[in-house]
Amino acid sequence: MARAWTVARLGAAVACGLLLAGTLGACGGTKTVTKTVTVVGTVPNGGATSVSASVAAGAHDFVQFACAQCHGERGRGGVSADVPALSQVGKQLTVAQLKQIIDHGLGESANPTKPYMPVWGQVISAHQVADLVAYLHAGLPSVPGATPPPVITAQGPAVEGALLYQRYGCVNCHGPNGLGGVPNPQSPDKAIPALSGADFFKEFNTDQKIIDVIRSGSVIGRAPIVSMPHWGGIIPDSQLRALVAYIKTLKTG
């Protein structure tokens, strides 16, 4: 499915360059024409101050759910060769297609070292998905404040890890302070697991075991079941160690 879209999009891109929907009739236009129409995306005056409330909310969601950590800030790519940039998808995919991809992912990768597009349907509300789609369709404009939390390394690994827990969006699935409780109705446990408490620390009793599951993920089923994403190739080793240092500060009993 993903491949078919990719091929279709590639075809469209070759035929039409970067022309906007409104100028599709000019597909055969020259390079000069292409350059003059690409900048503003589909939003009039697509700059920081003129976006709609939905687009602005989508930009914040894009940061909060860590889309930016895999797809790059404002979806510009460059994080991993396995994760596509999103600069063109808004022009190439419909609202329904984008919703489907965000809610259901694009198939969990069997290779634990490669990231896959996570299943978000249980975690991100329909309202938030609609905002994300509006943001993608607007060409991922710059929105004030929609930037990930900073990475601070000078205050010790637990502080760094706490910030990374927000930055990589772990908090959306595992809850504040790793307390869990996010529903995952069709999974065996009916919820996304806590990263705290006696059961967690009994099973994950070494740093290496925690690092391994963050890096390699754990696919427990297909959409709509939410699985643990593969973060290998996305989160560097030093940050994995910081995340573990933070997790080990959480409630053990």
Rounded to 10 degrees, the C-alpha dihedral 228/129/106/234 comes to -50
Residues 6+ apart with CB under 8 A from 94: none
Q: How far is CA 248 from the centre of its chain?
A: 25
Asked if 51 touches ligand HEC (CB under 6 A), the answer is no
- Is the separation of the CB atoms in 118 and 226 below 8 Å? yes
Asked if 86 touches ligand HEC (CB under 6 A), the answer is yes
Write the interaction track for ligand HEC spanning residues 97-136; mark x where CB under 6 A is met and - where it is not: -x--xx---xx-------xxxx-x--x--------x----
Q: Name the one range near ligand HEC by CB under 6 A: 17-25, 27-35, 36-44, 224-232.
A: 224-232
Q: How far is CA 29 from the centre of its chain?
A: 35
Name 25's bridge partners.
none
Asked if 57 touches ligand HEC (CB under 6 A), the answer is no
Asked if 140 touches ligand HEC (CB under 6 A), the answer is no
> 3-class DSSP state for residue 20?
coil
DSSP-derived letter for residue 191 is B
Q: How far apart are CA 32 and CA 25, in angstroms?
A: 16
Asked if 2 touches ligand HEC (CB under 6 A), the answer is yes
Asked if 67 touches ligand HEC (CB under 6 A), the answer is yes
Pick between residue 55 and residue 195 the one whose CB is nearest to ligand HEC.
195
Question: How many residues sit close enough to ligand HEC to count as binding (CB under 6 A)?
Answer: 50
Q: Is 214 exposed, middle or buried (0-12, 13-18, 19+ CB in 10 A)?
A: buried
DSSP-derived letter for residue 133 is H
Which of 16, 59, 83, 242 is in the footprint of ligand HEC by CB under 6 A?
Answer: 83
**Min. distance of Cβ 139 from ligand HEC in angstroms?**
13
Asked if 55 touches ligand HEC (CB under 6 A), the answer is no
Interacting residues toward ligand HEC by CB under 6 A: 2, 5-6, 65-67, 69-71, 82-84, 86, 89, 98, 101-102, 106-107, 115-118, 120, 123, 132, 168-170, 172-174, 184, 192-193, 195, 200, 204, 210, 213-214, 218, 220, 226-229, 231, 234, 243
